[in-house]
């Protein structure tokens, strides 16, 4: 965050949120309003991401917009899919190979028993 004014306002607003004299959603809207109107904030490339992080920290889960929550869930799922550990992978043993062969034989027998048209 490059805007010193926004940093000071966020600190002040957060104190009000902790004292329960300001709603967290109102704080987020004040931050977004300032970011849209401030020349320094409009040029800050990381500000949207930082506002998103602040929103996640101060808003209760039920008050975060559904689209934002869904995006967060999808990102978490994508990250967990990429993190495959050796423990997660099925260990191939002689038993599993034998089981696979038995299943194939059973399928072949079922095909042989099926009526032919």
Using CA atoms, how far apart are residues 34 and 26, in angstroms rounded to an integer?
Answer: 12
pLDDT tens digit sequence for 31-72: 999 999 999 999 999 999 999 999 988 887 655 556 555 666
* pTM for the full predicted model: 0.52
96: Cβ contacts below 8 Å, ≥ 6 apart = 90
Rounded CA-CA distance 22/75 in Å is 30
Give the model's pLDDT for residue 59.
Answer: 83
Evaluate if residue 12 carries a pLDDT over 70.
yes
**Ranges of each domain in the chain:** 4-66
pLDDT at 60: 73
**Tokens encoding 108:** 């072949």
């Amino acid at each position: 965050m490059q805007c010193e004014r926004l940093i000071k306002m966020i600190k002040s607003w957060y104190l009000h949120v902790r004292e329960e004299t300001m709603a967290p959603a109102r704080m987020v809207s004040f931050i977004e309003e300032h970011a849209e109107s401030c020349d320094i904030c409009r040029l800050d490339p990381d500000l949207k991401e930082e506002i998103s992080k602040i929103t996640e920290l101060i808003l209760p889960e039920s008050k975060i917009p559904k689209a934002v929550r869904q995006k967060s869930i999808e990102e978490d799922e994508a990250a967990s899919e990429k993190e495959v550990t050796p423990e997660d992978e099925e260990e191939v043993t002689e038993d599993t190979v034998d089981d696979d062969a038995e299943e194939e034989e059973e399928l072949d027998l079922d095909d042989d028993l099926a009526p032919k048209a």
